[in-house]
Structure 1
């Protein structure tokens, strides 16, 4: 097995500065990260001494060979490796460029049985609420990322269940993408005034609030107002802020809570976590750096800076929505007239996830879902 060793003195100093060890302890525990060339061997193994947890914690856990919660492993047992400047850095992925081998890669092997039991219990709890429900299993068409910008010791992050440690899609994210997609696809041109045709999205949400079905499904405030238009352009004040029309009542004439319940989407197959790379080419340009007092232009001679991030692939997620039976009645007016809220929401749930995608970087192909098995209403 190959071993990677840095300059003992500089790393010892950094460990001491980080409060991870005394001078004596740092000398005793200098970096010595093993590279397991077999990916399966590395997937569940972890050497506590390489994580730079406080020394007494590492000492207490020295017999631990694996961590069975991915959220804890990723966020608490962070592996620090040297970067090009010989500084310790939280590391998701590192490759030896000369030897063309992987030095470190965050991996995890989830237990099928455990995932299935948790997901089944989650779905059982939903069914016991006594709702009319619709569920559909979908899987990423390629890869997806939820929570890329969450706070993390790394430059990037991922939403993981705070108890179970596996990747999941929060209900708020599911509701948000379905709501946004309906506004974009249905209300963007619905009853749009002639003055607004060049800016169809600007008042699309306002028009949605005037629709009974939309308000019943997603909820709405008591009143809404639209951006003012004049001669085909939105009006702004001297500070560049939009001017608004007077308030008008929304479709229901009162503040209303949405009747559709959106639930967290849990994995119903073993989650597959993989490391991907984003490669910004013009970091100096975006960072507004200067050369001889002049801004650096975006050019091909700038050095790309690879940033690793975690994605999920080849994993089936169960999306579930529900409504109380007495609220699942026909909509009496508007664009969804004679439909029931659950039917409308279920159609647009599937359309939003397949056509718009969910999570980060949907504009470049991430986050699109595909159906693997038929959805069902229960």
Structure 2
């Protein structure tokens, strides 16, 4: 139910769609909210027809974004890393651990996602922990694409590709039964920042110069009299991610070499996320 409320004896035209107690709690303790996913993707209010954040969007946010949260975030990242290793060891799954360092390249992963703020796109943040991460599906898709490109001469149906990455029903080769899907041998996990890194989330901006041209799919010419609207997006920088890739069956030495070379190619040449043609999404594979 939408309600009009008064706070501190002042009129407030905010139309709340949350329970009053929840709204009051967010309003009074907004600066103490540490979960950046909730800040960027959930905590907003509607005022005079415009979605407005409950907080001031700063230029940058540290991964250890508050003094009180330093140990909490560090312990969380250590626990997530230990949980992945425990799971792999308990299930007796062969695995390799890699570390990717961003260096000077910013990453814009998932900035096409939904945000309450019309001119702000947010990089992928974990919905529970509120920290940047690389989804397992994103990593698997990039690895499969690059593996086909550099190891199989572009052959999507190569036996090596189907065995390691699997296939869906519409990807199954014609000489096999249509309903026979194949499960890939490789196992990919969500990748989280290393507990020792202290990267930041940075507010960047892109300005499409010809909005009418783009919005009409070329139906209007890209003239200089159009009014560009800056679009802000939150990217990540100076972070280091731990990547775990498991395998149901032991990999050969050749496959291990290809796995490492392909992962290095993904981040050094292909790039991850958006704006890779402008140098975003690059990283360096570090030995572990």
Same fold, TM-score > 0.5, yes or no: yes
Q: Give the one of 60, 68, 77 matched to 2:43.
A: 77
Structure 2: runs of 5 or more not aligned: none
Q: Partners of 2:139 and 2:234 in 1: how far apart? A: 20
Counterpart check, 1:182 vs 2:104: no
Counterpart check, 1:113 vs 2:71: yes
Tell me, yes or no, if the aligned pair for 2:44 and 2:51 is still in contact at 8 Å. Answer: no
Q: How does 1:216-235 map to 2 (within 5 A)?
A: 216-220=163-167, 224=172
Bigger relative contact order, structure 1 or 2, given CA contacts below 8 A and separation 6+? Answer: 2
Shift in CA distance, 92/21, structure 1 to aligned 2, threshold 3 Å:
closer
Deviation string 1:179-238 (CA, Å, 9 cap, x unpaired) is 111223333xx3xxxxxxxxxxxxx3xx33233x2222111358745xxxxxxxxxxxxx
Tell me, yes or no, if the aligned pair for 2:269 and 2:282 is still in contact at 8 Å. Answer: yes
Residue 137 of structure 1 deviates from its aligned partner by: 1.8
Q: How does 1:156-171 map to 2 (within 5 A)?
A: 156-171=121-136
Shift in CA distance, 170/215, structure 1 to aligned 2, threshold 3 Å:
same
Q: Partners of 2:27 and 2:270 in 1: how far apart? A: 47
Q: Give the one of 242, 251, 258 matched to 1:318.
A: 242
Matched with 2:279 is: 365
Counterpart check, 1:284 vs 2:216: no
Matched with 2:158 is: 210
Matched with 1:68 is: 34
Q: Give the one of 15, 20, 28 matched to 2:10.
A: 28
The structure that has the greater radius of gyration is: 1
Q: How does 1:1-378 map to 2 (within 5 A)?
A: 19=2, 21=4, 28-30=10-12, 56-61=21-26, 63-64=28-29, 65-78=31-44, 88-90=50-52, 104-105=57-58, 107-108=60-61, 109=65, 111-128=69-86, 129-130=88-89, 131-140=93-102, 141-155=104-118, 156-187=121-152, 190=153, 204=154, 207-211=155-159, 213-220=160-167, 224=172, 247-249=174-176, 255-268=181-194, 269-288=197-216, 296-324=220-248, 327-330=249-252, 339-340=254-255, 342-371=256-285, 374-376=286-288
Residue 264 of structure 1 deviates from its aligned partner by: 0.8
Secondary structure at the aligned position of 1:261 is classed as: strand
Residue 307 of structure 1 deviates from its aligned partner by: 0.6
Secondary structure at the aligned position of 2:268 is classed as: helix
Deviation string 1:323-366 (CA, Å, 9 cap, x unpaired) is 23xx1143xxxxxxx724x4432321122122111112212221
Q: Partners of 1:122 and 1:301 in 2: how far apart? A: 52
Secondary structure at the aligned position of 1:367 is classed as: coil
Tell me, yes or no, if the aligned pair for 1:21 and 1:55 is still in contact at 8 Å. Answer: no
